Structure 1
Amino acid sequence: MSDPDAIRRWRLVLGRYAERSLPGDGLSEAERRADRALDYLYAREMERRGLRRDRRRQGGPGSLDPSQLTPLGWLAELRDLFPRSVCETVQGHAIDNLGMQDLLSDPAVLDALEPNKDLLKSLIAFKGSANPAVREKIREVTRKVVEDIVRKLRPRVEAALAGRPNRFRRSHVKSMQTFDWRATIRDNLRNWDAERKAIIADRLRFHGRSRRKLPWTIILCVDQSGSMLSSTIYAAVMASILTALPSVEVRLVVFDTAIVDLSSEAHDPVEVLMSVQLGGGTDIASAMEYCEGLVTQPTRTVFVLVSDFEEGGSVPRMLAAARRMASARVTLLGLGALSEDAAPVYDRRMAERLAGCGMKVAVLTPDHFAQWIGEVIA
């Protein structure tokens, strides 16, 4: 290659392992800093694969030796050199893929980490082995991330559960959710512009929403095995939002091979997430039997199973519990995922068997789950 810009870019992509063929002498000061910051993390993976870096140039002027950085200094470099989205990606690689658990064991380092959902998942998985000082920092980070999720999700959930549109009542609240396009077209037909072939609307119509009272019990039964961590986070947030609705009682139960009733903490997603214990097996049957005992008004109860449906306990008992609740006219919903991206990772065969017992099964994002709930309790 003769293009200096292409050489520099390939040098940054390949890192110190390309030093012999693509020396870093042509890098600018900012590029050297970026090279060092990335090498600090990704060289660990390359060495784990058996590759060895050329040590001849280390220790001299302009050395890119990663030992010059500490975790805290490295995080500061990332924030200074890269956009926020890149920092979050590299930070996630460090924690999840490359084993830099020292990032999670120092309160000062935790303060420097960029709060986001991926970090939250790592912290929840790590909290059980954290010392008290670090655990308190984990709680602080958890609250920041959860508050951000609630802030974004609450308006969509409340809109979905606010009631069906009432087209006979006009609304002073003007938004796309209350925009009545049919009435707007009808009221502006006289403004047809033949030249533009368009209606020039000078009056916009908006409809109100019929508020409904919801004398319902919603039981969220959440699989807390490691594979369902994203779903557990969003289930905790959804429980807190649903708890704030009038005339709705929320029961929150998390399980693996043990069952923990967190209904009293359902209003506080941070407390819920600090209470969950990830890992272990999966005993859906026992969890469903426990939740069956919480049902007092079957026709006014929605049972939501959030799981990958990979039953490690008794399948016949699980299916029998589903049949009993369905026969009692409990509304049964199964969510194979409850995360923003709704990745469909679940046992489809088992989900089909549950569907055969009267459970409706879907893979939904949280806002679509709220719409589903709204349709059920309309």
Structure 2
Amino acid sequence: MADHRGHIMTDTMNDQHNDSGSDPELLRRWRLILGRYAGQPNSAAMNPHDQQIDHALDYLYGREYQGRGLLRTPGSGGSLDPSAIRAVDWLQRTRTLFPQDVFERIQQHAVEKYQLAELLQDPDVLRSLEPNQALARTLLGMRGRMSAQMRDAVQDVIRQVVEEITRRLRPQFVNALVGRRNRFRRSHMPSAQNFDWRATIAANLRHYDLASGRLLIARPIFNARVKRHLPWDVILCVDQSASMLDSVMYSAVVAGILSSLPTVNVKLVVFDTSVVDLTHLAADPVQLLLTVQLGGGTDIGRAMQYCETLVRTPQRTVIALISDFEEGALPGPLLASVQRMTEARVKVLGLAALDEAARPVYDHTMAQRLAGRGAEVAALTPAHFAEWLAEVMA
């Protein structure tokens, strides 16, 4: 508890930029970090705002102490125990006490670690929560245990999260895939993806300042982009085992973005030990996420064999296997399928991570064996996946 609460209070105090180094200030900080079980638990020395912060944190993080069998310190004063305040009231009050990023972390702890079920049983309460990926993960994980009246509220939250991710990622895929850079035609429309640094340096060498040792850029040069006309088939083969929830979420968004581009024909396959073709939902990431069944084992070979049957034009087909490569079946069928497709000139990509944090956790041995059969394997964020896809399709 002290670890979670301590991080929350450290972030809050950093945001407030309180530089006081006095002993009373240090005592105040430690009191707020440690909570009512601090060595000096008397809250009378705290101002009213500090007391509200202390009560809000104690309502949530005090559950850790209670779970360990620790009782309230005698004489510690009143508190906001779970029986004294509704979770929704606590949530609304907490939202006003902390900066936005800190509040989102507290909300995440409440839902994921301390399982405040009340927050997820009332549609109005659910809609009042901050829609973010942590909340979406929790809702998708417990979707089958929710009442019918909660489904619309869950869909609203998932839609907001999907729209936010799409807003951030769509420009990357459009810039990378709708056109390729034309180094023989210049553009006056500045874009980081189109910036030609070699040509810019060559064109501005006369502006080099010897005194400062700096090159002054009087005229940056950008490459124009030309339209692609021949579409590619992109088959997304997505592992939907429980450990791949973040990747499933981003894969759904990526499928939706790719489906809207004229240069790409998208097929979407999800798998655990079974294989399900969800191509008909590829353009609707919200319904896709509400359809996938997370969990189960992993039979990657079976999924790749199915994707192999979808190939129509090998030279213009990309199969992106999004998985941790933890094969539950014998590896022979998987490796044989990958080798057959790469020999037929299908571009087989193995994507080991598909979340913003890019923290890959995957079977390195299997990844190396796939690479040995001709697949290209990498651990990338969605934005970098867009550039990788563009390079493969160039």
TM-score by length of 1: 0.93
Contact 1:110-1:137 within 8 A present in 2 as well: yes
Q: Is 2:292 the partner of 1:272?
A: no
1:223-302 to 2 correspondences below 5 Å: 223-302=239-318
Contact 1:179-1:206 within 8 A present in 2 as well: yes
SS of equivalent to 1:260: strand
SS of equivalent to 2:227: coil
Provide the rounded CA distance (Å) in 2 between the counterparts of 1:199 and 1:336.
40
The one-letter amino acid of 1:43's match is G
Provide Cα deviations, 1:19-41, integer angstroms capped at 9, x if missing partner. x6331111111111111111111
Q: Is 2:143 the partner of 1:127?
A: yes
Farther-moved stretch of structure 1 (211-220 vs 299-308): 211-220
Q: Is 2:124 the partner of 1:137?
A: no
Alignment-derived partner of residue 5 in structure 1:
25
Provide Cα deviations, 1:236-269, integer angstroms capped at 9, x if missing partner. 1111111112131110011112222110110111
The one-letter amino acid of 2:219's match is R
Q: 1:100 to 1:63 in 2, by over 3 A?
A: closer
Provide Cα deviations, 1:47-103, integer angstroms capped at 9, x if missing partner. 112222226555xxx544443221111110111100110111111111112222332
Provide the rounded CA distance (Å) in 2 between the counterparts of 1:180 and 1:321.
40
Farther-moved stretch of structure 1 (256-265 vs 94-103): 94-103
Provide Cα deviations, 1:343-374, integer angstroms capped at 9, x if missing partner. 11011112222222221111000111111111
Provide the rounded CA distance (Å) in 2 between the counterparts of 1:179 and 1:190.
20
SS of equivalent to 1:67: coil
What is the CA distance between 1:175 and its match in structure 2? 2.9
Provide Cα deviations, 1:190-240, integer angstroms capped at 9, x if missing partner. 445454454544434332123223421111010111110110111111111
Q: 1:193 to 1:136 in 2, by over 3 A?
A: same
Farther-moved stretch of structure 1 (250-259 vs 158-167): 158-167
The one-letter amino acid of 2:246's match is S
Provide the rounded CA distance (Å) in 1 between the counterparts of 2:363 and 2:351.
11
Q: Is 2:174 the partner of 1:154?
A: no
Give me the identity figure in percent: 53
Match of 1:33 among 34, 40, 52: 52
Alignment-derived partner of residue 335 in structure 2:
319
Q: 1:192 to 1:350 in 2, by over 3 A?
A: closer
SS of equivalent to 1:273: helix
TM-score by length of 2: 0.89
Match of 1:44 among 56, 59, 63: 63
Match of 1:220 among 236, 245, 252: 236
Provide the rounded CA distance (Å) in 1 between the counterparts of 2:267 and 2:136.
24
Q: 1:200 to 1:281 in 2, by over 3 A?
A: closer
Contact 1:216-1:300 within 8 A present in 2 as well: yes
Structure 2 residue runs without a partner (length 5+): 1-21
SS of equivalent to 2:229: coil
Match of 2:325 among 301, 309, 316: 309
What is the CA distance between 1:301 and its match in structure 2? 1.1
Contact 1:36-1:66 within 8 A present in 2 as well: no
Provide the rounded CA distance (Å) in 2 between the counterparts of 1:353 and 1:176.
36
The one-letter amino acid of 2:48's match is E
Cα root mean square deviation, aligned: 2.0
Q: 1:300 to 1:75 in 2, by over 3 A?
A: same
Q: 1:193 to 1:357 in 2, by over 3 A?
A: closer
Provide Cα deviations, 1:148-170, integer angstroms capped at 9, x if missing partner. 11101111122222443222212
Farther-moved stretch of structure 1 (191-200 vs 295-304): 191-200
Structure 1 residue runs without a partner (length 5+): none
Provide the rounded CA distance (Å) in 1 between the counterparts of 2:355 and 2:210.
48
What is the CA distance between 1:135 and its match in structure 2? 1.3
Contact 1:7-1:22 within 8 A present in 2 as well: no
SS of equivalent to 1:149: helix
Q: Is 2:366 the partner of 1:350?
A: yes
Farther-moved stretch of structure 1 (97-106 vs 27-36): 97-106
Alignment-derived partner of residue 335 in structure 1:
351
Provide Cα deviations, 1:298-335, integer angstroms capped at 9, x if missing partner. 22211111111111123222222222222322211111
The one-letter amino acid of 2:68's match is R
The one-letter amino acid of 1:114's match is E
The one-letter amino acid of 1:292's match is E
Contact 2:323-2:353 within 8 A present in 1 as well: yes
The one-letter amino acid of 1:176's match is A
Contact 1:298-1:328 within 8 A present in 2 as well: yes
Match of 1:21 among 37, 40, 47: 40
Match of 1:54 among 73, 82, 107: 73
Contact 1:236-1:272 within 8 A present in 2 as well: yes
Contact 1:340-1:365 within 8 A present in 2 as well: yes
The one-letter amino acid of 1:37's match is A
What is the CA distance between 1:134 and its match in structure 2? 1.0
SS of equivalent to 1:208: strand
Q: 1:63 to 1:204 in 2, by over 3 A?
A: closer
